[in-house]
Structure 1
Amino acid sequence: MAVFCCGSLHLDVLVTAPHLPRPDETVAGNTVEYIFGGKGGNQALSASKMGSKVSMVGRVGSDSFGNHLLKELKNSTIDISQVQRDDGPSGMSVAILDSAGNYGAVIVSASNLNIDPELVIVPADTKIILLQNEISEDVNLALAQKGRIIGSKVILNAAPARAFNKNILDFVDLLVVNRVEAEDILGHEVSSDGWFAAVEELAKLGPNELIMTLGADGLIIKIGVQAPVHIRAHNVTVKSTHGAGDMFLGALAAHLDQNMSLLSACHFAQKAAALHVGSQQSERKKLTKEAVLNYNP
């Protein structure tokens, strides 16, 4: 069994500042870090930390950033044999984190948009295919179709929010969105008293299973024809929410790969995300499967 993650690879430049800048404002920053990132890469690392065999599909440039990204994946025991390279620059992002733990980011996708799905071979033992929206929609569709053919469970994390061809949902088994992404797909606002209705509406688009994450309010899960269920979040002192969604997705995919139910996987992934947001950036490499299992918030 294995997790096959196809997604973005970025070098993230993370700046801390007293507050996020307003339009036309220059803010004096406090620190700067260069961090392995991209939603695809982060989710792959998370799944690997949580005990699954992981293969990565992506594309990096021929620059030093690309070399660094490949080294980080390899050091995390992730199979990089299907990471493609080109002559252009690698993807990157610049994120600003304020003293309250809020952040904003700008992403330059660069080589991530050049993944060639024709070169991708999905191994026969792949149990989970994990996709997200920082790569081309055509690549996501091609991988979802390949997954359907071999019987893999296809998970689409429709993040970041963007317009997309809803036909892909015919090949998606589990759709994971946050409230903003749900609003983007549905075309209307989702208020707190409309969470359940929004999940039911999303279910009509095709996926058999749905998760809508709600940050500090937890998540809504829907499985098949069953009624949606609200799972509350853990109470934790937030150090930073940066990367929390990717930790959740990787932990979720790993737990499903290890033959756990979706409900059990949601509880496990919530604990992993709680540990993540309650940790400093320097502590996050220590967030192992054992740490999550032993965590009692």
Structure 2
Amino acid sequence: MRLVFAGTPEPAVPSLRRLAASDHDIAAVITRRDAPLGRKRVLTPSPVAAAAADLGLGVIRADRLDADVSGRIAALAPDLGVIVAYGGLVREPLLSTPAHGWINLHFSLLPRWRGAAPVQHALIAGDERTGASVFQLVPELDAGAVFAERADEVPSDATAGALLASLAHSGADLLLEVIDAIAAGTAVATPQTGEPTYASKLGDADGAVRWSEPRASVLGRIRGVTPEPGAHTTVDGARLKILAARPASPDAPTLAPGAMALHERHVLVGTGSEPIALDSVQPAGKGAMRAADWWRGRRAADPVAGL
């Protein structure tokens, strides 16, 4: 089939590469405009734009699928539109422009976690299973009938970044299977059932660790916001970013929520239940470091400090 592919961040790249290597024809790649990145704010192509250039595919850069962009896509006469984390809405008449409409690869088991940050919310909520779904795009957010899904167990130590990278690759295979089925006329989509939950985009406030919560919830939040927007707390009046943490050993001392101590060369922090151990942190204005090294370099010599 003749496809148009819309995607922007790194998790969309495996799908683009998988489709480019298939028997289908990618008529154009739609991605968001180059964005300023880094301290020098250098205009940088999106990961999808960079991959498309590497594959020799034509790129349409657009932050909104307005009338002009819709007209350019319609002129390509696509059979199917494919979206993987593009970051913009597809509305009529563009929604009905391809002969088979649009399909979307979404990184959750719908209708759970419709929205922008499904993997992050799944970890924060402590979900034991997640996966990827390919569904028919409709005007309502992530509400279309599902062609196929693939479920996976959530590793106990997974971060949002690692889990999303894994789902991006398994989801790419699932996406191609659905496109092949649509081309063959054998694809069947099933309406979603169950109560939807929603995964709004996360902000900096979502990364603030809530030490009064039970340990599982604290670790779920830390992993769910890693690498973005990042887990953080305040120590001695300064922000401390938490890059990696794990459950403390069973013989660790009991600590009040937010209290910190060095125990057997491990930095522990109390939660609403058992303590956690910090493995890697990043103090304000500095690079990443081992938590024990950060602790030894603190000016405050108190063995226990409130966070």
TM-score by length of 1: 0.39
Structure with more contact order per residue of length (Cα contacts < 8 Å, sep ≥ 6): 1
Query: Which has the larger share of helix?
Result: 1
Bigger Rg over Cα: 2
TM-score by length of 2: 0.38
